[in-house]
A = this chain, B = another copy of it.
Amino acid sequence: MNAESAAPARRRLSRAEAKARTRSLLLDAAARVFARKGFTGASVEEIAEAAGFSIGALYSNFGSKEALFLELLADRHTDRIAEAAQALERHPSGTGEAAAELSRLLIAVADKDTDFAPLQAEFWLYAVRNPEVLDTMAANQRAPRHALEQVISTSLTRHDAPADVSAEAVATVVAALFGGLVRQRRIDPASVPEELFGDALRWLFTGIRTGAAAPSDTDDTA
């Protein structure tokens, strides 16, 4: 039984390990508190207490309240769009099953992960009000958006979509629709039923396949 070489199994935590754990717990707590109270509304005392530590522990790990928030914004941007891309890849059929699964994902995000959308809104507001982090936000979107774009790209070519439809544009539309519907469901759940996102995606992709991008020519593919 190997017990000490590779895995840091159950040993008493070393100094560095304990500090890393504290840091991580503080970040988790900060995500919750920032989501529920907002950046300015959340107090560092509340965050530290929610993590089970003192204010001193927080300032021993982060330079300021703003630095803590920016760290969250920079590398805890677990974009649900990436999960959407994965869900799409699991269902290669393209239209039927995939749309239903994405609908389910949207409902789960809106109803279960209640902290996600508010925290995302806080990030967005902070970025709009502090343009120096706009690039950070755009960079965080890049990876998940690229994954979604890839899935959409293969789907478009497989269905002989018109060549002038860019996968990037479609990915932007899908992501914007996702976020917009999640927010709307929090305000009026009845207006965003379970299948709405899937229906919208089906409408969107059949419309693209039919070729409705260029208003000038009226083609009719083979």
| Least distance between A211 CB and chain B CB atoms (Å) | 8
A177 interfacial by beta-carbon distance below 8 Å = yes
Give Cα A173 to B106, complex, Å: 13
Find out whether the CB atom of A125 lies under 8 angstroms from the CB atom of B128: no
Find out whether the CB atom of B125 lies under 8 angstroms from the CB atom of A118: yes
Find out whether the CB atom of B202 lies under 8 angstroms from the CB atom of A207: yes
Find out whether the CB atom of B134 lies under 8 angstroms from the CB atom of A187: yes
Chain B contacts of A63 at CB under 8 A?
Answer: none
Binary flags per residue of A101-127, CB closer than 8 Å to B gives 1, else 0 = 000000000000000011001101101
Give Cα A178 to B180, complex, Å: 8
A24 interfacial by beta-carbon distance below 8 Å = no
The binding surface of chain A is classed by DSSP as: helix
Find out whether the CB atom of B173 lies under 8 angstroms from the CB atom of A177: yes
A208 interfacial by beta-carbon distance below 8 Å = yes
Contacting residues of chain A (175-222) with chain B, CB-CB under 8 angstroms: 175-181, 183-184, 186-188, 191-193, 195-196, 198-200, 202-208, 210, 212-213, 215, 218-219, 221
Binding site for B on A (CB under 8 A): 36-41, 95-96, 99-100, 117-118, 121-122, 124-125, 127-129, 134, 137-138, 141, 168-169, 172-173, 175-181, 183-184, 186-188, 191-193, 195-196, 198-200, 202-208, 210, 212-213, 215, 218-219, 221
26 pairs of residues in contact across A and B, judged by CB atoms under 8 Å: A38-B40, A38-B125, A38-B129, A96-B218, A100-B215, A118-B125, A118-B128, A138-B188, A141-B188, A169-B196, A172-B191, A172-B192, A173-B200, A173-B203, A176-B176, A176-B177, A176-B180, A176-B181, A176-B184, A195-B215, A203-B203, A203-B212, A203-B213, A204-B204, A205-B212, A210-B210
Given contacts A175-B180, A206-B221, A207-B207, 7 further A-B contacts (CB under 8 A): A38-B129, A118-B129, A137-B187, A173-B196, A178-B180, A203-B203, A206-B212
